[in-house]
Amino acid sequence: MPPDNLTLATSWLKRAKSNLIRAKLPRQDEVFLEDLCYDTQQSVEKALKALLIFYKIKFRYVHDIGELLRTLNENGISYPEDFKDAVLLTDYAVETRYPVLSEPVTESEYLEAVRIADLVFRWVEEKLNPQFKLDI
C-alpha cells in the first residue's frame, strides 16, 4: 500500500532537514563551499516538494526552485516575499558541483544560501507541523 500524502510529505521534510543540518555542520578544510551550497539547494527543493506532496499538487521532479515556487503559487499557496531569493539556490544543484562550470562559491554566498534554506525549511515546517504535529 502506498504511503498517504502526510507520511510521504514527512519523509521528504526529514530529508530536507538532513540536508540543512549537513550544510550547517562545521566546515572541514577539504570540504568545498559548493558542496555545502548543494545541500542548501537540496533542502529547499525537498521542503517545497514536501509541501506540494502534502497538498496533493502534481509537480515535475526538477531541481528548479523557481518552478517549484511557481507551482505553489499557481495552486493558491502563497509564500513570503523574500522566498524569491531562493531561486538563486538553483545554480547550486548542478553547475557549482563540478570544477570549471562556475566560479568558486564565496563564504558570503554560502552564508546567504544557508540563511535562505533555513528560512524556507522553517516556513514549510511551520505550515505542516502545528496542524499535524509531525515528529521530525
C-alpha cell at 7: 507520511
> Where do we find the cell 504511503?
3
Residue 67 lies in a domain: yes
Q: For residue 36, what pLDDT is reported?
A: 96
Domain count along the chain: 1
pTM of the model: 0.91
Residue 136 lies in a domain: no
Answer for the pair 17, 54: CB distance below 8 angstroms, yes or no. no
Domain span holding position 14: 5-131
Q: Which of 56-60, 82-86, 129-133 is predicted most confidently?
A: 56-60
* Averaged pLDDT, 66-72: 97
* Averaged pLDDT, 29-43: 95
Q: For residue 96, what pLDDT is reported?
A: 75
| CATH number for position 23 | 1.20.120.330
Residue 33 lies in a domain: yes
C-alpha–C-alpha distance, residues 33 and 39, integer Å: 10
Task: Give residue-wise pLDDT tens across range 90-107.
Answer: 999 987 777 767 788 999
Task: Give residue-wise pLDDT tens across range 115-134.
Answer: 999 999 999 999 887 655 55
Is 7 exposed, middle or buried (CB count within 10 Å of its CB: 0-12, 13-18, 19+)? Answer: exposed
